[in-house]
Amino acid sequence: MKVIERKASDNKYLHRDFHISMNMLMDYICSVFGENALIEYLVEFSSAFHAPRKEFLIADDLASLESYFREIYKKEEWPVEILMEDKELVITQESCPGISHIRKAGLEPIKQYRETYGTVYEAMCAGTPYEYRLEYFDDEKGACRQRFFRRNMP
């Protein structure tokens, strides 16, 4: 007889295979309902899940959004450069943890994978004083530069 007993605090929460499941979920939505449905889904997900982050932006509290991103990348154990200056948040990464894990497993990220950035954060900024711009995105590795900035800035 083999027995294992664990408390939640015995381990860290980092199940990278969820990136594969996420890719399969998006692939399924695209295949069955079309690419526009994927965008619709990501907007709905963002509206629901990122509601507290949207409130930060409405309150002009970009610092809380910065903290959120620092914490998320820390949990992912993923290298990133996060710069914050004068109402602008810039996030630069050499690769995406999701794309990297999916490729490492010998699988292919869906071609719309970048929408987990662009669509999700554009939806988060909608109706706030902030705008999101995905300045570049490399579909192979997920290297990208993201900016959150006030709408009245160039």
Residues near another protein, by CB under 8 A: 1-22, 24-25, 28-29, 32-33, 37, 40-41, 44-45, 48-49, 51-52, 72, 75-76, 96-98, 101, 116-117, 120
Coil vs helix vs strand at 92: strand
Minimum CB distance to another protein, residue 52 (Å):
7
Minimum CB distance to another protein, residue 131 (Å):
18
- Separation of alpha carbons 2 and 84, rounded Å: 51
Please say which residue, 18 or 136, places its beta carbon nearer to another protein. Answer: 18
- Separation of alpha carbons 57 and 73, rounded Å: 20
**What CA–CA distances, in Å, run from 18 to 3, 141, 151?**
26, 18, 34
Minimum CB distance to another protein, residue 10 (Å):
8
Coil vs helix vs strand at 146: strand
Please say which residue, 108 or 153, places its beta carbon nearer to another protein. Answer: 108
